[in-house]
Amino acid sequence: GLFIWCSTLFKYVETSRNRRRDIHLFLSGARAQEPLTQLYNLYDLIVRSAVDMGHQDDMDVLHALLGAIYVSAGNRPLTASALSAFLRADKRFEYEDNASVQSIIQALHAVVYEDRGGHGAVRVLHPSFLDFLEKMLKSGFRVNVQQSHRLMFDGCLHTMHRELKFNVCGLKDSHRLNKDVPNLRELISAHVSEALQYSTLFWSIHLSKSGLKGGKEDAQMPVSVLLTSTKALFWLEVLSLLNVTGQAVV
């Protein structure tokens, strides 16, 4: 773990205001500790320095964002724009936009990055950071794994209700097979947002891991509305366009 620790430290201090002070802080705190403990302590310091920890709203956004990154990573890493769209489904974060989320991601540049070769998806620099997040989400973090899945599930439903519509790609001929539609991939990219693509594919996964039981205050009502309305047909249409219709079996 020494290489990862050093690499992470260098990435962090390269934009530090006082590099000598921060290097001394990290080195003095790293003595006589197990390598993994040293690494997790470094991750913790980086996370805590990403926002003003004295500002409650900033703390809540940071922790919700890290939870969303963690629970979506195994499905499909999301861009800052998509992550902000899912956060806004929670009324606490209704003013979080792409710029505000990107500002946090930039502050976390020592542990996450925007993959320019992967359409700007936010990825972790090393899998050990996901292990750190899992540990934090399960032990006293301000949000837990179930809450993170609930936030993503709510965001998926909100996105589908808002964006699903008939002939979402504006195809001029409904008699052609998808494989015969010219430039279908470009049409999907232009008309089916990243958030909608993710939502149609993974909403049921987040529901199954959210701890919701289907009671009156849980997910039964919004899911039933979705699946018994014309929105269900539009959902199937998007799955068909993405060539994953089999995922409709939930």
DSSP-assigned states of every residue in 60-78: HHHHHHHHHHHHHHTT---
Q: pLDDT tens digits for 225-236?
A: 777 788 899 999
122 has a pLDDT exceeding 90:
yes
- Look at residue 50 in the predicted model and tell me its pLDDT: 87
Q: pLDDT tens digits for 53-93?
A: 667 788 899 999 999 999 999 999 999 999 999 999 999 99
- Look at residue 97 in the predicted model and tell me its pLDDT: 92
- Look at residue 81 in the predicted model and tell me its pLDDT: 95
Q: Which whole number is the average pLDDT over 218-230? A: 68
Q: pLDDT tens digits for 18-27?
A: 778 777 777 7
Q: What is this structure's pTM?
A: 0.85
**Residue type for 108, please?**
L
- Which regions of the chain does DSSP assign to beta strands (E)? 112-115, 121-124
Q: Which whole number is the average pLDDT over 187-195? A: 96
- Look at residue 230 in the predicted model and tell me its pLDDT: 87
Q: Which whole number is the average pLDDT over 182-191? A: 94
Count of residues making up the chain: 250
Q: pLDDT tens digits for 140-186?
A: 777 899 999 999 999 999 999 999 999 999 998 888 899 899 899 99
Q: Can you tell me the distance from the alpha carbon of 18 to that of 14, in angstroms, rounded to the nearest whole number?
A: 10
